[in-house]
Amino acid sequence: MNAIFEQTLLELEKTQNEFWNISRETGNFLNMLVKIGKYKSGLEIGTSNGYSGLWLGEAFKENKGKLCTIEFWEKRQCIARENFKKCEVAEVIEPVIGSGVDILQRWERPLDFVFLDANKAQYIEFFNLIDKHLIKGGVITADNITSHPEKVKPFVEAIQSDEKYQTQILDLPAGLLVAYKIRD
């Protein structure tokens, strides 16, 4: 990671609560996971100002892959676009403005990596729409599993009881669920 990247992360961490960003630990873990899995076709729901997108984008750039990131709050996505340009990851990130469910209903591309960090109560809807696009060997990750247990409960119960997935909730700030698709 270059100096501009590190400097931008530190700057964004000053407004972490305002923009509901993931923790640095979660960002670092997701960055490593994308590199370890050599994922190339990623989707994030919940861009905000692009903090998590920077962590993900750096890894997708190294993998020569692409990340699509969805946000319905236009102003936030504009800030994210600037951050992506500044850190030279804009060429691997496709920012899309709109509602996660609407966009997923029209989704056609196969995915090997997904990060859910939008409306917690909608995780179950996102999962139901994403499942058919996620290839075997891909992962779904989701933040706020321990910070918002009631809201994410339908999603957590559904994915933990789905035999296509091997799952683990990691003790990172807010709680991160990682679900590995072991079969189609």
Our finding on whether 107 is near ligand SAM (CB under 6 A) is no
Q: How many helices (H) and strands (E) does the chain have?
A: 7, 7
Our finding on whether 5 is near ligand SAM (CB under 6 A) is no
**What single DSSP character describes residue 162?**
-
Closer residue to ligand SAM in complex, CB, 15/136: 15
Closer residue to ligand SAM in complex, CB, 96/164: 96
Q: Are strands 93-97 and 41-45 parallel, antiparallel or unpaired?
A: unpaired
| Number of amino acids touching ligand SAM (CB under 6 A) | 19
Minimum CB distance to ligand SAM, residue 138 (Å): 19
Our finding on whether 72 is near ligand SAM (CB under 6 A) is yes
Our finding on whether 52 is near ligand SAM (CB under 6 A) is yes
Opening angle at CA 179, ends 174 and 182, nearest 5: 170
Residue 31, Cα to own-chain centre: how many angstroms? 10
123-130 and 149-160 helices, crossing angle to 10°: 30
Site for ligand SAM in 110-169 (CB under 6 A): 117-119, 122
Site for ligand SAM in 11-40 (CB under 6 A): 20-22
Pairwise CA distance, residues 8 & 11, whole Å: 5
> Which range binds ligand SAM by CB under 6 A, 29-37, 59-67, 69-77, 83-91?
69-77
> What six digits make up the tokens of 95?
């920012």
> What six digits make up the tokens of 67?
């990340």
Task: Give phi and psi for 102, each to the nearest 5.
Answer: -60, -45
Minimum CB distance to ligand SAM, residue 77 (Å): 9
> What six digits make up the tokens of 78?
């504009």
Our finding on whether 48 is near ligand SAM (CB under 6 A) is yes
Minimum CB distance to ligand SAM, residue 142 (Å): 11
Residues that bind ligand SAM (CB under 6 A): 20-22, 45-46, 48, 51-52, 70-73, 76, 99-100, 117-119, 122
